[in-house]
Amino acid sequence: MNEFDLIRQYFETPSVNRADVPLGIGDDCALVQPKPGFQLAITTDTMVDGIHFDSRLSPADIGHKLLAVNLSDLAAMGAEPCWISLATTLPEVNEHWLAGFSEGLFALAREFDVSLIGGDVTRGALTLSITAQGQVAAGKALTRSGANVGDLIYVSGHLGDAALALNHSQITQLPKDQQQQLEQRLFRPSPRVSLGQALVGYATACIDLSDGLSVDLGHLLKRSGKGASLMLDQVPTSSIARNLLGHEQAAKLAFSGGDDYELCFTVPAHHQEAIETISTDAETPVTLIGQVTSDSGLKLRFNDVPVNWKSQGFMHFYDQDQ
């Protein structure tokens, strides 16, 4: 089997057949058929060996996470995920790696009915990039810029476990099953696709949490021209993190850590009940953590006491999305 055949075996067999892909892998371009009245949401995320993942991640974890971080961006726009293109730069053709990577990638692709329509395979330092496309009704996408004064601020799931797991030495004292629970949050994030789509028509602004709540909520507020008042004791954390660190340190990590891939969104107060129903239907917990204010900047309180927790967000040039 030559190298072409090997690559073909892992990537060219369609794992998901969508009716809106008249031509998939194997020509100069793929062809896809968008839905009338919809816009395309398009995002690109790259992962580099040693920067975005370390040797603890299996090839399947890497495949999962690469797709998950892209789907998380589509979720933040309220878009339905549809098609992905994969740029894979590999130091060598390693069948074990290809098998694991494609298994992790395609398992998540099947879960969300996403079709791999093309890409490129090149030789070089391990660098993996996906451009993902979703569809959302024209004019209905959630953006970062629509938050209004008085809107309630929510986050999905719980925050901080991925940041805790990032530094392995922090969690070595925990029982094995708790270590694994935390590492799953870092290695295998769950993109909040159903929640994002359900928020269309309710949320006024939305962002996914990749660089940490403090940084990403900052982006949303800056684009909206607003500020926020946050009750940091309300930021949802896991019982593992609270037991290990205590409530306040767990909340600090939840505020400043990255890699959560949860959604942070703003909602007019009169939609509070609707959000609870949406959360139940999407099987994704959401928690009210604060309110949008007219003053720029963040007003932080923990147990009703003002605090001044500095952002420790992930501010490197190599993690600047979009």
Would you list which residues are annotated within the binding site for Mg(2+)? 28, 43-45, 73, 120, 208, 211
Element (H, E) at 218: helix 213-224
Encoded tokens for 127: 């660098």
Nearer to its own copies, 27 or 273 (CB): 27
Nearest distance, CB of residue 250 and its own copies, angstroms? 26
Q: Are 256 and 312 in contact (CB under 8 A)?
A: yes
Looking at the Cβ atoms of 205 and 251, the one nearer to its own copies is 205
Query: Closest approach of Cβ 128 to its own copies, in Å?
Result: 9
Min CB(301)–its own copies separation in Å: 28
Annotated binding site: 28, 43-45, 52, 73, 119-120, 144, 208, 210-211, 259, 314
Q: Which two tokens stand for residue 22?
A: 């008249």
* Full DSSP string of 238-274: -HHHHHHH-HHHHHHHHHH------EEEEE-GGGHHH
Nearer to its own copies, 48 or 174 (CB): 48
- Nearest distance in Å: CB 14, its own copies: 13
Q: Which residues are annotated as a binding site for ATP?
A: 119-120, 144, 210
Unique residue bearing structure tokens 């949406």: 278
What are φ and ψ of residue 188, in 5° steps?
-130, 60
Other Cβ atoms less than 10 A from the Cβ of 50: the count is: 9
Contact 84, 115 (CB under 8 A): yes
**Closer residue to its own copies in complex, CB, 135/293:** 135
Residue 65: what are its φ and ψ, rounded to 5°? -65, -40
Q: Looking up tokens 């009940």, which residue turns up? A: 273
Closest alpha carbon to 155 in 90, 82, 228, 83: 228
CB of 37 to its own copies, least distance (A): 9
Q: In the bound complex, what is the minimum distance in angstroms from residue 245's beta carbon to its own copies?
A: 29
Residues tagged in the binding site annotation for substrate: 52, 259, 314
The smaller minimum CB distance to its own copies, of residues 110 and 123, is found at 123
Which of 104/191 has CB closer to its own copies? 191
Distance CA 308, CA 226 (A): 19
Minimum CB distance to its own copies smaller for 51 or for 149: 51
- Asked if 206 and 77 touch (Cβ cutoff 8 Å), the reply is yes
CB 299, CB 240: distance < 8 Å: no
To its own copies, the closest distance from the beta carbon of 69 in angstroms equals 10
Backbone angles phi, psi at 3, to 5 degrees: -65, -40
Question: Can you tell me the distance from the alpha carbon of 51 to that of 125, in angstroms, rounded to the nearest whole number?
Answer: 12
Nearer to its own copies, 44 or 229 (CB): 44
CB of 81 to its own copies, least distance (A): 11
- Tokens encoding 144: 């970062």
